[in-house]
Amino acid sequence: MKKNNFYKIRYCTFLMMFISFVSASAVTLPTGGILVNQPDLKVEVSSQGTTYTAFNEVETMYKISNTGDQNSTGLITLTVNIRAEKGSFTYTLPAGWSLQSKTDMSYIFVSNNIIAVNTSDTITINYISNGGMNKSNQASFSAKLNNGSGGESNFDNNMGSVTLDRIKN
């Protein structure tokens, strides 16, 4: 009987130590149920205002932040799509980022930068409408991080967008 109690006490002690270790660690539980630390990249899209006019520049920003508990690793790919009337575009990239491809009003930017925990990189795109109107009289700027970018596996925060109303001038 004493031998059984000894093993029960050892098992309970081990179990309590394991629970203490797990609760003290910074861990996340992904869908698979495996304990891991990982990066979590998210994209936020913003602009300098809520409206735009023809022939005047409007600035849009695409902020890629790491809200996880590990630095990002590997290739990060951001696709930006713009729905607006024809116009001209310029962009400013942080160090380590490059334009991989451009088709009409879609841009794909890539980087192998390490985005540390609680830091971010911001891409800026400036747009000037050539005039004319589009069907909605709006310009929509959207961005999506490719799933798995930077080694992350939370895809719920990988998209963002902003819509600006066109004012006649």
At 96-132, the pLDDT tens digits run: 999 999 998 999 999 999 999 999 999 999 999 998 7
- Looking at residue 122, what is its pLDDT? 99
Question: Do 8 and 50 belong together in one domain?
Answer: no
The DSSP bridge pattern shows strands 87-92 and 120-129 to be antiparallel
- State what percent of residues in the chain have pLDDT above 70: 78
pLDDT at residue 23 in the model: 45
Which domain CATH number covers 69?
Answer: 2.60.40.2230
- Strand, coil or helix: 42: strand
**Domain containing 2: what range?**
1-29
> Which H or E run contains 64?
strand 57-66
Phi, psi angles (nearest 5°) of residue 29? -110, 100
Shared domain check, 24 and 56: no
Residue 153: inside a domain: yes
pLDDT of residue 83: 94
* Residue 137: predicted pLDDT: 86
Nearest to 52 by CA among 142, 127, 115, 146: 127
Average pLDDT over residues 20-27: 46
Which pLDDT value is given to residue 9? 55
Domain count across the chain? 2
Quickly state the pLDDT bin for 66 (edges 50, 70, 90): very high
Same domain, 114 and 154: yes
- Alpha-carbon distances of 138 from 22, 51, 65, 162, 168, rounded to whole Å: 50, 8, 27, 10, 11
Predicted local confidence at residue 22, as pLDDT: 44
Both 87 and 142 in one domain: the answer is yes
Supply the mean pLDDT for the chain. 85
User: Residue 21 carries which DSSP code?
Assistant: H
pLDDT per residue as tens digits for the range 139-151? 999 999 999 999 9
Residue 114 falls inside a structural domain: yes
Closest by CA to 40, choosing from 22, 61, 8, 65, is 65
pTM for this model (two decimals): 0.78
Residues in CB range of 86: below 8 A, 6 or more apart:
129, 130, 132
Q: Indicate whether 138 and 95 sit together in one domain.
A: yes
